[in-house]
């Protein structure tokens, strides 16, 4: 056997692992989606589309979808506005601390999601850093509602996806080149015009890539909407968890899970198409 024909053997351990812990449970999920729920609330083995039909006729499913899409879009946009300048700085800097700064930028990834949420509660809560500061400055009389609502969830989500987006942007900045900026400057473009006509267009593929990733991560996030939402924020991920655990309604949870998966796949395909189009 030649070396190149032996190469796929490297994939065997991971494939076996994923077959057992991912593919097999996923098949179980698909199977559950065709089951029904009896009048007692117990699951009834069946091969029907009845669960799917009722789920998609429920207006709440539609509301959850809009909530998820809107939350993800806003969180991604905020994170992008914050991550883009940071990535551009990291990509261009000649500082000898560049490596260290990059680690600092992605540090939040190293902290558990639950711990991060409690950090945000300490900062944004009624007696948190923001409210006490604003109150002692006399700018507000009653504390602002910054947690246990959409505001808190959006802030928390934007922060949690930022490191991933910074990494995606850095990976996508391949075509940016200092010499191109110098060429633009020498041809009469001011620093702003250089950004507008050279840097921004050349970083669009990176932006599409990072936005796609941030969006997918926001759509599938559970901890942040659950804990920072305080039970008032309903998105697809929290609903799936509720149906599966609190209601033990596995068929509905399975239908919603597959629906979310299809949404995400569609979004990934679109974001890849956009990125590839921009790359040309």
Partner 1 sequence: MSYLELAGLQKRYGNSVAVDDVSLSVEQGEAVALLGPSGCGKTTTLRMLAGLIEPNRGTMTLDGSEITKLPAHKRNMGYVFQSYALFPHLSVGRNIAFGLEERGVSRGEIDKRVQEGLALVRLGGLEQRRPKELSGGQQQRVALARALVIQPSVLLLDESLSNLDAKLRDAMRHEIRSIQRTLGITTLFVTHDQVEALTMCDRIAVMHRGRIAQIGSAEDIYDRPATRFVAEFVGRANVLPLARDGQGRATVWEQLVPVEPAENADLFVRPQRMRIVPVSEPAGGDTARLTGRVLRSVFVGDHVEVLVEGAGGQLTVEMPSGSAAPAEGTEVAVVWPRSESRVFAREAS
Binding site for partner 1 (CB under 8 A): 175, 177, 179-180, 182-191, 193-194, 197-198, 201-202
The interaxial angle of helices 250-279 and 24-33, nearest 10 deg, is: 120
Nearer to partner 1 by C-beta: 199 or 221?
199
Neighbours of 148 (CB within 10 A): 19
Q: Least distance from C-beta 193 to partner 1, angstroms? A: 6
Nearer to partner 1 by C-beta: 138 or 188?
188
Which pair of tokens denotes residue 41? 């609330």
Which pair of tokens denotes residue 142? 């009653």
Nearer to partner 1 by C-beta: 58 or 182?
182
CA 76 to CA 154: how far, in whole Å?
9
The secondary structure of residue 43, as a DSSP letter, is: E
Q: Least distance from C-beta 188 to partner 1, angstroms? A: 4
> CA separation (Å) from 139 to 122, 123, 217?
20, 17, 36
Q: Least distance from C-beta 213 to partner 1, angstroms? A: 22
Nearer to partner 1 by C-beta: 190 or 245?
190
Q: Least distance from C-beta 83 to partner 1, angstroms? A: 22
CA 112 to CA 224: how far, in whole Å?
11
Nearer to partner 1 by C-beta: 145 or 196?
196
Nearer to partner 1 by C-beta: 202 or 219?
202
Q: Report the alpha-carbon angle 35-30-8, nearest 5.
A: 160
Nearer to partner 1 by C-beta: 47 or 192?
192
Q: Least distance from C-beta 185 to partner 1, angstroms? A: 4
The secondary structure of residue 108, as a DSSP letter, is: G
Which pair of tokens denotes residue 217? 């991560």
Q: Least distance from C-beta 263 to partner 1, angstroms? A: 31
- Where does the chain show beta strands of DSSP type E? 36-37, 43-44
Nearer to partner 1 by C-beta: 195 or 222?
195
CB–CB of 49/34 below 8 Å? yes
Q: Which residue has the tokens 């029904």?
A: 36
Q: Least distance from C-beta 278 to partner 1, angstroms? A: 9
CB–CB of 124/152 below 8 Å? yes
Specify whether the backbone of 230 is left (phi greater than 0), alpha (psi in -120 to 50) or beta.
left
Q: Least distance from C-beta 189 to partner 1, angstroms? A: 5
């Amino acid at each position: 056997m030649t070396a190149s024909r032996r190469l796929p053997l490297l994939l065997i351990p991971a494939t076996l692992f994923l077959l057992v812990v991912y593919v097999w449970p996923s098949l179980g999920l698909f199977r559950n989606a065709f089951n029904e729920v009896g009048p007692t609330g117990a699951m009834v083995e069946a091969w029907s589309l009845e669960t799917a039909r009722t789920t998609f006729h429920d207006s709440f499913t539609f509301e959850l979808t809009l909530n998820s899409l809107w939350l993800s879009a806003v969180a991604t946009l905020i994170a992008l506005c914050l991550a883009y300048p940071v990535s551009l700085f990291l990509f261009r800097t000649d500082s000898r601390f560049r490596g260290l700064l990059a680690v600092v930028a992605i540090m939040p990834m190293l902290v558990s999601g639950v711990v991060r949420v409690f950090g945000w509660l300490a900062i944004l809560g009624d007696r948190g850093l923001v409210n006490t500061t604003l109150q002692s400055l006399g700018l507000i009389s009653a504390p602002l509602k910054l947690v246990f609502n959409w505001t808190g969830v959006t802030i928390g989500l934007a922060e949690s996806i930022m490191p991933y987006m910074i990494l995606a942007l850095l990976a996508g900045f391949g075509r940016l080149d200092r010499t191109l900026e110098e060429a633009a400057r020498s041809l009469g473009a001011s620093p702003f015009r250089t950004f507008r006509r050279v840097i921004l267009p050349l970083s669009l593929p990176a932006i599409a890539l990072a936005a796609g990733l941030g969006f997918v991560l926001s759509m599938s996030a559970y901890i942040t909407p659950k804990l920072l939402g305080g039970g008032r924020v309903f998105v697809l991920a929290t609903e799936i968890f509720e149906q599966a655990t609190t209601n033990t309604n596995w068929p509905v949870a399975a239908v919603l899970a597959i629906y979310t998966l299809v949404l995400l796949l569609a979004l990934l395909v679109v974001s890849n198409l956009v990125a590839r189009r921009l790359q040309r």
